[in-house]
Amino acid sequence: MFEGKKILITGGTGSLGQALTKRLLEEKVDTIRIFSRNEEKQVFMENKFHDKRLRFLLGDINDLERLNRAFEDIDIVFHAAALKHVPKIEYNPFEAIKTNVMGSQNVIDACLHADVERAIAIGTDKAVSPLNTYGATKLLMEKLFVTANNYINPLKHRTKFIAFRYGNVFGSSGSVVPIFIEQIKEKQKVTITDPQMTRFSITMDEALDFILNATTYGQGSEIFVPKMRSYHIMDVVNSLQNIIGNHGQEVIGIRPGEKLHEVLINEDEIRHTWEYNGMYVVTNPHYTKFHGKEMKENYTGITKLTDIDNYSSAFSEKISNKELEIMIKNSGLIN
């Protein structure tokens, strides 16, 4: 699937972009173009990988002309660029709309202009029944991507637009684990928003496997969601304190826009969801290419999902405390 391909990653200097780059370089790709507006991270990443197949392009997804130039001769686009910090976005909502929504439409237009083979939008659980502006913008990004296939004229374009949806990678900069670790090391109380909170768990390696598999299988217009287990936030806190030290806990209350449980597929989407090869496939009801018989023809062994009302961290299989301690020790976050 990836051997000999020319690939571009928007927001490629982020944690996911760097991990994806490392994995793709193992797949014998022809070229990877890293597109981002952070020159310092580009220099760091160039020195880190030191690979002749890497190209670093400064640019902003709000600049369509720059995107058109960057996408020339590209086969696959991974769209990971976004404004993501929830409080900052709540204070500056239209900036997130410009980047996460209008910028994503620019990416779609540039993909069509360059006639790329596949375009993949990297989404988030916060797009499901969103409570904050960030989630709302990512929901719109998903909608733009899965409906972009309606524009395709097979005689003129080959692009397949696909969306992925999953939560924070365990221990990543966007998750709460590094914050807990820092508090414990500073001999502070661990601040807990709500003891009942649950979250899905996915490691970076699992996320990368999911991304590459779904990219390979996707036919266009689907949202792919990985099958995951979840954990109670208190189990993570207790595991960390068992490993590093215990200086107490403090409940500070749930923050505005924060959910008690992660939901990756809501009750309305379940009606359009299928189960396939360790993943869930949410089809677009406004795109008629893949329904019923067509799904089974294009995905060997796919089955309609009928046994759950929604896909929530509250009800999914939980990770044991022993497994959590192993994950923490293997995360590289504890020196």
Running DSSP on this structure, what letter comes out for residue 78? E
Residue 124 has a pLDDT of: 93
What global pTM score does this model have? 0.94
Number of compact structural domains in the chain: 1
Could you tell me if residue 14 is left (phi over 0), alpha (psi between -120 and 50 degrees) or otherwise beta?
Answer: beta
H/E element, 303: strand 303-304
As a whole number, mean pLDDT of residues 255-263 equals 88
Residue 108 contacts residue 121 (beta carbons within 8 Å)? no
Domain that holds residue 277: 6-167+201-228+264-309
- Share of the chain residues as helix, strand and coil, in percent rounded to the nearest 5: 40, 20, 40
For residue 229, pLDDT over 80 is answered with: yes
Q: Is residue 25 part of a domain?
A: yes
Residues 91-123 have pLDDT tens digits of: 999 999 999 999 999 999 999 999 999 999 999
Rounded Cα–Cα distance for residues 209 and 160 (Å): 20
CA torsion angle 33 37 38 42 (round to 10): 20
Tell the burial category of 118 from Cβ atoms under 10 Å away from its Cβ (0-12, 13-18, 19+): buried
Rounded Cα–Cα distance for residues 18 and 54 (Å): 11
For residue 264, pLDDT over 80 is answered with: yes
For residue 157, pLDDT over 90 is answered with: no
As a whole number, mean pLDDT of residues 302-325 equals 93
Which SS3 state, helix, strand or coil, does residue 107 take?
A: helix
For residue 145, pLDDT over 70 is answered with: yes
Give one DSSP letter per residue of 158-217, joined into a string. Answer: --EEEEE---PPTTSTTSSHHHHHHHHHTTPPEEES-TT-EEEE--HHHHHHHHHHHHHH
Which SS3 state, helix, strand or coil, does residue 235 take?
A: helix
Q: What would the two tokens of residue 127 be?
A: 């797009």
As a whole number, mean pLDDT of residues 157-163 equals 91
Q: Is residue 280 part of a domain?
A: yes
Q: Is residue 248 part of a domain?
A: no
Q: What would the two tokens of residue 179 be?
A: 């914050």
Residue 101 has a pLDDT of: 98
Q: Domain containing 157 — which CATH number?
A: 3.40.50.720
Q: Is residue 303 part of a domain?
A: yes
Q: Is residue 150 part of a domain?
A: yes
Q: Is residue 223 part of a domain?
A: yes
Q: Is residue 331 part of a domain?
A: no
Please give the C-alpha separations between residue 176 and each of 5, 147, 182, 191, 194, in angstroms, as whole numbers. 36, 33, 10, 10, 13
pLDDT band (50, 70, 90) for residue 127:
very high
Q: Is residue 40 part of a domain?
A: yes
Question: Residue type for 187, please?
Answer: K
Residue 167 contacts residue 225 (beta carbons within 8 Å)? no
Residue 102 has a pLDDT of: 98
Q: Which positions are catalytic?
A: 126
Residues 34-85 have pLDDT tens digits of: 999 999 999 999 999 999 999 999 999 999 999 999 999 999 999 999 999 8
Question: Which of 5-19, 42-56, 125-139, 159-173 bottoms out in mean pLDDT, i.e. has the lowest?
Answer: 159-173
Residue 227 contacts residue 316 (beta carbons within 8 Å)? no
In this structure, how many other beta carbons lie within 10 angstroms of the beta carbon of residue 19? 17
Residue 160 contacts residue 149 (beta carbons within 8 Å)? yes
